[in-house]
């Protein structure tokens, strides 16, 4: 089963990027980093889902094909974005972009931010894309080693990774060895979010576990409870919680939410996640994340009331993202789809 058979997830991607956009617009009451945690869990889940399916079909994993597919999916839009940011910033005399050029080109913005206090510039938010790219580089190799011992071997590796990252991050932050910027940005302190998504894929591709999950009651209001718990964990407990155990708990709650939405996607309360418009916006989530800063910057300058500025910012961001997707990304995605079909 490929990604296209997984309901509700494109809609969930749209919700995640919308949370990020609203936060970056300036409504700080909205916990924007929950959107990023959602992306991490979804990425780990979808990549591991595909790796498991490929291993079931062929008995192995083609690293060459994996990296070609990831390259075609990610690099064209990303490097076009970097070129636009650098060009526009230098054109208007914004020198803050210069020290970020090399980290941006090498997908190490996360460690640049971690070591420089998460500075503000046009590519600051690319830290999360760097974390994901580092995950793509590392995880297929670990997966191939672990799958030799079956799904349980993969699960054990992932549980160990989640635990190790949690302990490491807590020791760094609670022991005052590293500050918020480091534990927020660094791959070694955020890999647990991705590993939780990977673990979810292992669980949901095991028939016996799926049957047990299917037997559990799934009331339509259950996702609202999970969202409430997420907001409580992120916004209503101390920073000491958030920057130590909180990241891991948030990822686990996102995983629970994914299971709930996969189960309830046909219920009228959650059917909107599979509406064609919402799925299309979810399809644009990657370029939306890249370019939403420009949409917000333009929207903020419009002579409108703040809620209308927000709506305009979102609309402008969607328009820019659609341009990136249809004019640039689709050309490479067609190559990716042909390779995946073969």
**Structure confidence by residue, pLDDT tens digits, 212-255:** 666 666 799 999 999 999 999 998 889 999 999 999 999 999 99
The separation between the first and the last C-alpha atoms of the chain, rounded to the nearest angstrom, is 15
For tokens 């609203």, name the residue.
22
State how far the Cα of 340 lies from the Cα of 125, in Å rounded to an integer: 30
- Angle, CA 70 vertex, CA 117 and CA 203 arms, to 5°: 85
Residue 205: phi and psi, rounded to 5, are -110, 10
Q: Are 50 and 260 in contact (CB under 8 A)?
A: no
Q: How far is CA 6 from the centre of its chain?
A: 16
Report in angstroms the alpha-carbon separations of 340 from 70, 235, 268, 283, 318: 11, 41, 34, 18, 28
Q: How confident is the model at residue 128 (pLDDT cuts 50, 70, 90)?
A: very high
* pLDDT tens figures, 146-199: 999 999 999 999 999 999 999 999 999 999 999 999 999 999 999 999 999 999
Q: What is the dihedral of CA 139, 181, 173, 232, to 10 degrees?
A: -90
In this model, does residue 342 exceed pLDDT 70?
no
**What's the token pair of residue 279?**
């799925």
Query: Which residues, in sequence order, are CB contacts of 164 under 8 Å at separation 6+?
Result: none
3-class DSSP assignment, residue 94? coil
* pLDDT tens figures, 40-91: 999 999 999 999 999 999 999 999 999 999 999 999 999 999 999 999 999 9
Please tell me the predicted confidence (pLDDT) of residue 333: 84
Residue 18: phi and psi, rounded to 5, are -65, -40
DSSP, res 270 = T
- Percent of all residues in the chain with a pLDDT value above 90, rounded to a whole number: 86
> In the chain, what are the domain boundaries?
3-24+31-341
- The verdict on pTM exceeding 0.85 is yes
- Angle, CA 311 vertex, CA 226 and CA 77 arms, to 5°: 80
Please tell me the predicted confidence (pLDDT) of residue 275: 95
Residue 160: phi and psi, rounded to 5, are -65, -40
Helices (H) and strands (E) in the chain, counts: 17, 0
């Amino acid at each position: 089963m490929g990604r296209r058979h997984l309901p509700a997830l494109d809609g969930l991607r749209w919700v995640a990027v919308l949370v990020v956009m609203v936060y970056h617009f300036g409504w700080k009451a909205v916990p924007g980093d929950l959107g990023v945690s959602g992306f991490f869990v979804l990425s780990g889940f979808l990549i591991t889902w595909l790796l498991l399916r490929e291993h079931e079909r062929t008995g192995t994993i083609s690293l060459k094909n994996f990296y070609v597919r990831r390259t075609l999916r990610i690099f064209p839009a990303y490097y076009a974005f970097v070129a636009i940011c650098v060009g526009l910033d230098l054109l208007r005399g914004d020198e803050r972009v210069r020290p970020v050029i090399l980290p941006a080109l090498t997908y190490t913005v996360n460690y640049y931010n971690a070591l420089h206090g998460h500075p503000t510039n046009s590519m600051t938010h690319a830290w999360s894309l760097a974390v994901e790219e580092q995950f793509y580089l590392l995880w297929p190799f670990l997966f191939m080693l672990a799958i030799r011992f079956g799904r349980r071997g993969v699960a054990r590796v992932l549980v160990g990774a989640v635990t190790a990252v949690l302990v490491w991050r807590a020791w760094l932050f609670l022991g005052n060895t590293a500050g918020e910027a480091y534990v927020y940005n660094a791959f070694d302190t955020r890999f647990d979010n991705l590993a939780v998504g990977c673990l979810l894929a292992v669980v949901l591709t095991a028939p016996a576990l799926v049957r047990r999950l299917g037997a559990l009651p799934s009331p339509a209001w259950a996702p609202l409870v999970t969202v409430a718990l997420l907001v409580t964990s992120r916004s209503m407990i101390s920073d000491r919680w958030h920057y130590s155990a909180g990241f891991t708990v948030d990822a686990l709650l996102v995983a629970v939410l994914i299971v709930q939405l996969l189960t309830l996607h046909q219920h009228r309360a959650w059917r909107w996640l599979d509406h064609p418009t919402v799925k299309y916006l979810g399809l644009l989530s990657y370029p939306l994340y890249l370019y939403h800063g420009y949409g917000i910057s333009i929207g903020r300058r419009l002579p409108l009331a703040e809620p209308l500025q927000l709506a305009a910012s979102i609309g402008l961001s969607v328009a820019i993202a659609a341009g990136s997707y249809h004019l640039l990304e689709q050309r490479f995605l067609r190559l990716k789809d042909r390779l995946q079909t073969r």
